[in-house]
Chains A and B, each alone.
Chain A
């Protein structure tokens, strides 16, 4: 029985119906296997907050049953965190990420946003320099005593949900940044081992990386100052060359994690370069409906990493790594860029996946502690990395690893979800907190900055004696003193 709720040729409707990936919608058989995977359904038990419910609404729009301007339609997709756990368990392979992104793009295109968000999306995230300036201002805010003053003043209460999130801001250390465009070289014996190991790399069946003697041009740099760099580059040719994707939030707020990533990779025998000219991955834009800027950022990254001539592109944030998987589709209307995006993607690897494959971290110092791990949704559901982080943690001597119940379920961070859907995000987090207490862990490790901030927030709010950090920062603590 079909209900002709919304009849016919409404222009925006036709527009969305065209945009929506109809094949993906049609694939949904309503079996409900996605329900137990969905963090928002776990909170409400209402099918409106389930993937199946959201898909049925998207289908209702595409079929002309429902107006895409309906506030309920927007609400359904606003409430989705975008963790994509549903996609991972779907028997009929519904590409929920496509439905989600297209629906969000449509919804956002019809909204007018306040100046702060507009500035952030079209300014801050597009320009690393601006992001750094913002971070510097933030440090000033924290260091100057202004933060204490603001906290006391009650201004935060007036700010409502944004105010409630203020404690979520990371405590910003003075920037510790890896110089851009310069190689960090490994010791030669470790390098040999790394090259041997990585020959066998096979990332989740999706591609096999062939690294047998890649034909590399000897790059001749035109600038005079680059002579030294060219020599380094020459030496790097003998190693596995990886380009570090720094990310925007990572680079500005958690830059020490990038430095630690490079140190670990270097220790594990690869030559690391902080690739010049890279930008934000564009995930926040894509998930919040700003596909145009997402494309622009994708192109900038593709070009930057091509220029650097690296064997692998290493990401240390699940959310960014997963966004790289979107690049080919994002650029599918531009055949040349699409091909470049595919080549780019073939090189993408998460830092934990690479370190695990390199298997070259012997000599770590012991850390006596109970450690647990929260999956990054996108690392797990899009990049398919689940075992590597757990194995790495257990490779540190002295560590007792405890599995966090429902570690695979989202923490509710979701990019800026915890800002746009504060109440919902906190309900998702409450469930997480109950399990965290069970573990009695000293450390909670994760692989994505958003998750890290969200979980640090809950630990602080609930007074749990739990150190929340990026897995890379934890591992770096175990690196032997540099000689």
Chain B
């Protein structure tokens, strides 16, 4: 008979051998829990992430931008659904996962607790927030859990336009009137630090990281990903003549990376703890949408039952 210790060794051997873990495979409880937490947080982030952008659909500056924004937000809904499906393969119901969000039990990316004050924020969100998300998601295409990896491949294919449309908005604004330029710079100033926080605590303070790396749920550390993001984004900011709001930012010839200032982790912890500018508003909006949709869900089931009955008769 194989005991749990043996099963764990077999499991780890699969992971070490780069074999994907599939839903019916034996897996340690901790692995399952870790995945449920991470994938559902990720799904909630996609869904809540629609709110700050939805704020600008009716005020997009022209029809082209409006169509693009609608398509992007629809993608975010789709990404949430791919991920909710992946969570479900781990044996939790969709209802439980959604209830955890609505009840405030589950977390989502703190970045979406910041407000989108101007049109340039839509540019900054696409460029920086989606840009940071892509760094993380490209890594997750190689995560050890099959359904999560497959969802990520699909998401990455779609996500690249999100970042490009955001950067395009910033680029156009930065070539516009002084006011438009100022608007773009202001958005970059406000979104830069929260975007860096998206990668999570520094490696020294990241509670789940070591185990997640061993299980190959994560493949790169928070700080590694953050550094790559900084290196790429600073160059992109230069191209469009915007200035990254970090006085300590400096190219380091010996490391071939940018050195940068310290993140305000007090702010990070505050927003995670629920005290960001929009935490309450976001959760209230999700709850309202869920409650307002209750009659639709019931009616659809009643209609399906009636049709099935008629067909049987």
Query: Is B a genuine binding partner of A?
Result: no
Chain B residues at the A interface, C-beta cutoff of 8 Å? none
